[in-house]
Structure 1
Amino acid sequence: MSKWKTTKYPGVRYREHESRKHGVKKDRYFSVRYQRNGKQREEGLGWASAAGWTEKKVIDALAEIRENIRRGQGPQSFKEAREGIRQDRIKDAAQEEEDRLNSITFGQFFRDSYLPDAKQNKKERSWQTEKNFFRMWISPTIGKKRLSEVSVADLERIRNKMLYADLSPRTVQYCLATIRQIYNRAKTLRIFTGENPATLIKTPKIDNKRQRFLTREEADRLLGHLKYRSLQTHDMALLSLHCGLRAGEIFSLTWDCIDFENDQIFLRDTKNGKNRYAYMTGPAREMLMNRRGKKASGYVFKSRNGKKITEMSGTYKRAVEAVGLNDNITDYRQKVVFHTLRHTFASWHVQDGIPLFTVAKLMGHSSTAMTERYSHLAPNDMKNAVKRFDDNLEKESKVIDFQDHILRRKGGEK
C-alpha cells in the first residue's frame, strides 16, 4: 500500500494507487481529519475515480462539516452526510413511485391488473360479465379518472344510468360490487390507499331470492319432455332435482366421485369453497348406473367435444317453455330456470317435515340463515310446537291455587 501524502489544505490527505490512473494522474484515495466534541476524527472518502473526489471538492465538503459542527446543525460527519443523501434518494424514489401510482387511471388498472387476475381466478362467465360492465357502464364515466379521483358521485351516476336503462337492481348491485372488488384489489397491491368509494354508495335494495318451486306434477312433465328432447339434459335435471346439486357442481362431477356402494356423491370445491356429500335417490342411482357403462372415467357429463360443460344447454329453456311453466310470468324471480330444480329439492324436503338444519346440510349452505327462506313451507312445525306447549299448560293446570298457596305459607286454612 502506498504512503499517505499531505496537501496544502489542513486535514486533507491522500494516497495514490500503485498502477491505476484517473485522468493523467494516478488515482487518489482521499481521507480527512477534523475535530468533533473535543476528539480527533478521521474518515476515508473514497477513490477519485469512484466517487469523483478532487482536492477542491474535499476541501469544500470538509469546510461544510466543520461549519455544521460549529453551528450544531446538519450532518456533522461524512457518514451522516452520506446517510442523509441516501435517505433523500429513498424519499425521492418513494415520492416518484407514489406519483406514478397516483397517476394510474381506473381503466389502466382494470385492463393491466384486475382483468388478468380475474381471468386466472374466476370463471369465464364471471370475468366476461365484469368486462362487459366495464365497457358499457364503468369506463364511460370513470375509465379515464385516476383511482384517487373517483368519487361517490361518480358511482351514483353509473348506478342511476343503469337504473334509467331499466336494468334490474340485481344487475346494478353486481356492477357496483365489481367496482368494489377492483378497488379492493388495488388496495391489496398497495396501488390505492384511500377509502374504497364503492363502500359508501347506497345500492338498490330488493329481495332477489327466487320463491318459485315445482309441484310434483310440473316436475314430471318437465322431466318427461326433457327425456324426449335430450337425455343428457334430462339426466342433469334429474340429478339437481333429486340430489340438490348446483349446475356448476354437475358440470364438475367426475366418475371417481360417484360411490354406488354407499349411494353417495362427493362434491369437491363447491360454491362456498367446501366439500360435501350428496345422496342418491333410487331414480338418480339408476340414471347414473345407466350412464356409467363399462369404462367410466373423466366427467360424468361432457360437451359434444368431450370436454367439461361450462353452461346449461338451451334445450332446458326450450323444454320449460314447451310445457308452459313460464306462461304469463313476468317477474324474473318467479320464472323457472335450472336452479329452480335445486330450489324444488329443498322445498319438497321442508314440506315433508325435514328439519331446516338437515336441509341446510343437504344443500351445502354455510349457515341455516340461507335455508330460512324455506321456513314458510313448514308452517305446521310452528303450529305443532304451540300445540305441544298448550297441551303442557293443561297438564300443569292442577297446581295449587295461588290464594291457597299464600294461606298455607302463613299457616292458615282457607
Structure 2
Amino acid sequence: MSVGIEEVWKNFAEIKLYNTKGKETEILRWEKHIYPYFRGKTIAEINNLEVSKFTRYLEEKTLSPQTRAHILGLLRRVILQSIKWEIYSGPPPHFEMPKFDNKSLRYLTIEEADLLFAELKKRSILWHDFSLLALNTACRSGELLKLDCGSVDTVNKCLYILDSKNSKTRVVPLNKVAFSVIKKYLTKNNENRVFTYKGKNIDSVSPTFRRCVSAVGLNENISDRRYRVTFHTLRHTAASWMIQEGVPLLVVCRLLGHCSLKTTMRYAHLDPTQRELAINVIEMATKKIFSSNY
C-alpha cells in the first residue's frame, strides 16, 4: 500500500511545519522543485533510481550544492515521515547528499571596519549603532532584532538572548561600547523591542548595510560567497579578533552560543600563539627531565 506524494506532503506541511521558522522556505522548495518533478507519483514509486534522476535534474538547474542538499533533505524527511505514520511500509530510497563547504571565511581587518563604520555613520545612525552592537556582542542579527527591553540587564550590564539559533538562552556581557549604544534605545516598556523604526518592529537588516559595504569596496571583484562581506561577517569578525588576542576557544564558543566546540574550531588557525605556547610547555618539561643535558 502506498499513498500519493501530494497527500503525504499536505499532512507533513500541516503537522511538521506548523509554526516553524523556516516554513515558508520549505514550502517554496517543495512547490518550485519537488512537486513539479514528482507530481502524480506515489511514495512507492520514488525509488533509488528516481531519486538519482531527481538529483541529476537539480544539478542541471545549476543550483548551489547547499540548495540541492536542502531540497533533497526535505524530500527525504517527507518520505521517512510517511513510514513513521505507517502509511508506507516499503524501504526508503537512498539519498546521496551533495558535499559542500559553505562556511564563511571572511572577517574584517581593523582598517576595513573603520571604513565600513564611517560609511554607516554617514548614512544611518540607527544601522551604525545596530552594527556596532553586533560587532561588540558577536550576536546574530536576528537575536538583536528580536531583543526586547526586558532582556537588557542594565545593572549587571548584559543581555539575555532568548530563542537563539540553538533554542537556548545565553548571557552576553556588554562592554563599554555596547552598553553606551544600547542605552540610547531602551524604553520603559519591557515588552518593546530595543530597535524599532518609526515605531514599528524591524524584521530584517536594512539594505543600507549592503550599500555601505559596496560603497567602500569590501566586496569588489569577489564572487565566492564565502569571502563576501555580509552582516553576519560582523559576528565572524568579533570571534576572529577575540581569538587573535588570545581569548580561549572555549570562552569564545560559549559567548557565541555554539552547541559544540567543533563549530568554533573554524577560528583556531587564527591563534598561532597557542601552538607556540604548547610547544614551549613541552620544552620546559623536557629541560626539567634532562636538565643536565641543557
Q: TM-score scaled to structure 1, two decimals?
A: 0.66
User: How far 1:218 sits from its partner (Å)?
Assistant: 1.2
Confirm or deny that 1:249 pairs with 2:143: yes
Q: 1:323 aligns with which of 199, 216, 223?
A: 216
CA distance in 2, matches of 1:256, 1:294: 9
Q: Is the 8 A contact 2:149 2:187 kept in 1?
A: no
Q: How far apart are 1:296 and its partner, in Å? A: 6.0
Match of 2:126 in 1: 232
Question: Hey, what does 1:398 align to over in structure 2?
Answer: 291
Is residue 237–residue 341 contact of structure 1 (8 Å, CA) maintained in 2?
A: yes
Q: Deviations over 1:282-311 (max 9, x none)?
A: 11111111112565641112355623x332
Partner of 1:312: 205
Q: Aligned partners of 2:250 and 2:212: how far apart in 1?
A: 33
Q: Does 1:161 align with 2:57?
A: yes
Asked if 1:371 is matched to 2:264, the reply is yes
The 1-side partners of 2:69 and 2:33 are apart by: 13
Instruction: State the match for 2:18 in structure 1.
Output: 120
- 1:262 corresponding residue in structure 2: 156
Counterpart of 1:387, as a letter, is N
Report the secondary structure of 1:270's partner residue: coil
SS where residue 72 of structure 2 aligns? helix
Distance in structure 2 (CA, Å) of the matches to 1:216 and 1:233: 19
8 A Cα contact 1:118 1:127, kept in partner = no
Identity of aligned residues (%): 33
Amino acid at match of 2:11: S
What letter matches 2:39 in structure 1?
G
The structure that has the greater radius of gyration is 1
Q: Which runs of 5+ in 1 are unaligned?
A: 1-98, 401-414
CA contact (8 A) 1:141 1:154 kept: no
Change (3 A) 1:304 1:139: farther
Q: What does residue range 95-110 of structure 1 map to in structure 2 within 5 Å?
A: 99=1, 102=2, 104-110=3-9
Cα distance 1:158–1:318, how it changes in 2: closer, same or farther (>3 A)? farther
1:270-285 map, 5 Å: 270-285=164-179
* Contact 2:76–2:95 (Cα < 8 Å) also in 1: no
Secondary structure, counterpart of 1:141 in structure 2: helix
Q: Is the Cα–Cα contact under 8 Å of residues 185 and 195 in structure 2 kept in the other structure?
A: no
Letter in 2 for 1:217: E
> What's the CA shift string for 1:19-58, capped at 9, x where partnerless?
xxxxxxxxxxxxxxxxxxxxxxxxxxxxxxxxxxxxxxxx
Which amino acid is the alignment partner of residue 210 of structure 2? Answer: K
Q: Which has the higher strand share?
A: 1
Q: Match for 2:114: what amino acid?
A: D
How far off its partner does 1:176 sit? 1.1
1:340 shift after superposition: 0.9
Find the aligned partners of 1:354 and 1:285 in 2 and give their Cα distance: 21
Correspondences of 1:15-414 after superposition (within 5 Å): 99=1, 102=2, 104-110=3-9, 112-117=10-15, 120-123=18-21, 126-197=22-93, 200-293=94-187, 297-302=191-196, 304=198, 306-307=200-201, 309-398=202-291
Deviations 1:197-251 (A, max 9, x none): 2xx2211212111111011221222122222222222222122211011122112
Higher relative contact order (CA 8 A, sep 6+): 2
Partner SS, residue 262 of structure 1: coil
CA offset digits 1:94-151 (Å, max 9, x no partner): xxxxx5xx2x3212322x222234552322xx22222222222211222321122211
Matched position secondary structure for 1:353: coil
* 1:114–1:302 distance in 2 versus 1, CA, 3 Å: farther
User: How many equivalent pairs are there?
Assistant: 293
What CA distance in whole angstroms lies between the structure 1 residues aligned with 2:84 and 2:195?
Answer: 38
What CA RMSD, in Å, does the superposition of the two structures yield over aligned residues? 2.0
Aligned in 2, Cα 1:373/1:107: closer, same or farther, shift over 3 Å? same
- In structure 2, give the amino acid aligned to 1:108: E
The separation in 1 between residues aligned to 2:125 and 2:178, in whole angstroms, is: 13
In structure 2, relative to structure 1, the CA distance for the partners of 1:287 and 1:115 (3 Å cut) is: same
Structure 1 counterpart of 2:49, one-letter code: A
The gaps in structure 2 that reach 5 residues or longer are none
Cα gap change, 1:109 to 1:244, in 2 (>3 Å): same
CA contact (8 A) 1:137 1:158 kept: no
CA distance in 2, matches of 1:350, 1:260: 27
Scaled by the length of structure 2, the TM-score of the pair is 0.92
Worse-matched range after superposition: 383-392 or 341-350: 383-392
| Paired residue secondary structure (2:126) | helix
Using a 3 Å threshold, how does the CA distance of structure 1 residues 287 and 179 change in structure 2: closer, same or farther? same
Change (3 A) 1:232 1:108: farther
